[in-house]
Structure 1
């Protein structure tokens, strides 16, 4: 769907605890790839909860996607949420992805 060589999605920059901050710095590339995997699953039409997530720390990766401008919808049955891309989310996110890819390509050329 998009260029796997580019880390399109940035993960959050700060953690509150120093040991968490060290973990974040050491694993940014892997966490960014988790965001990409989650994005691809949503684009395929997968409906994801914490029980069937293809990545660890699913809720944090959803938050990272939102911080990158990605739109995500959810449904709640009162106890649990299921996250997904609605049709309008999917169209918006496809256009946003093109912009993010172009921006990242320009950054790499500098």
Structure 2
């Protein structure tokens, strides 16, 4: 897989409620930075859980950042259940 070039400043997203959209607009820069942090960690081959993201990167909602990366920037993030209890997110990188 080739590294995808992403400009995290171009984050456009619309929430379904006005109050949610206002919250998003107030925190857009922080959300973009969190997406960048998650993406770079995944590119390094890290496998992230919500706990690891919170402890290592202070990202409180990894699932939302994963959804943003998948929905907005089409990043092919995979996941699997660990011990049947929690998800671990990762990139599958083909080395050819």
TM-score for both structures, normalised by structure 2: 0.75
Q: Which residue of 2 aligns with 1:61?
A: 65
Query: 2-side partners of 1:26 and 1:19: how far apart?
Result: 11
Alignment of 1:4-15 (within 5 A): 6-7=7-8, 10=11, 13-15=13-15
Q: Which residue of 1 aligns with 2:50?
A: 50
Q: How many correspondences in the alignment?
A: 86
Query: 1-side partners of 2:88 and 2:23: how far apart?
Result: 28
Report runs of 4+ in structure 1 exceeding 6 Å deviation. none
In 2, are the aligned partners of 1:9 and 1:36 still within 8 Å (CA)? no
RMSD: 2.4
Q: 1:80 aligns with which of 73, 77, 86?
A: 86
In 2, are the aligned partners of 1:8 and 1:36 still within 8 Å (CA)? no
TM-score for both structures, normalised by structure 1: 0.67
Give the unaligned 5+ runs of structure 1: 92-110
- SS of the aligned residue for 2:36 comes to helix
- SS of the aligned residue for 1:52 comes to helix
